[in-house]
Amino acid sequence: MLGFLVVRGVAASRTRTVTYRSLFIMPAVMLALALNSIMGRFDGGALLAAVWFAAMAVGAALAWRFSDGQVAAVDHNARTVQLRGSWTPLALMMAVFAGKYVVGAAMGMNPALAHNTSFAMTACALFGLCNGVFNGRLLRCMAACRGAAAPMVRAA
């Protein structure tokens, strides 16, 4: 898994052309990894879901606000987007991977952490924040794709 994430992160550091569908791959993978790390591991149900969702909303809002305009060009006919390279996806993927490792290791050494609300809320908030940034960047890309009127539009 780590190898896959590193390869995808390094690829994201370079300008590349991707299909509309592939824009959703990494946010979906990171969402699955984060949810896998929090669902079924902690007691707290609705409270932890609310913390995760609130942190995700904050992360999405921050990514939307501070997005670096990663869409360079849109080709509606080919259903592709040219994305500028960024190291942010690699940093986020490594944060989720490291968080998943730390949560698993901590709970392996101290199973009582599954019942520790502070630990669970912190983990949920960090995973939610990372997921939110991924989703905010995805939403910014989708907005750029929808806003492109001509078959090939260069973003400012």
SS (H, E, C) 8-26: HHHHHCCCEEEECHHHHHH
pLDDT value of position 68 = 62
Encode pLDDT of 85-136 as tens digits. Answer: 888 889 988 988 898 899 889 999 999 988 888 999 999 999 899 899 989 9
Distance CA 129, CA 135 (A): 10
pLDDT value of position 61 = 94
Encode pLDDT of 98-112 as tens digits. Answer: 988 998 899 999 999
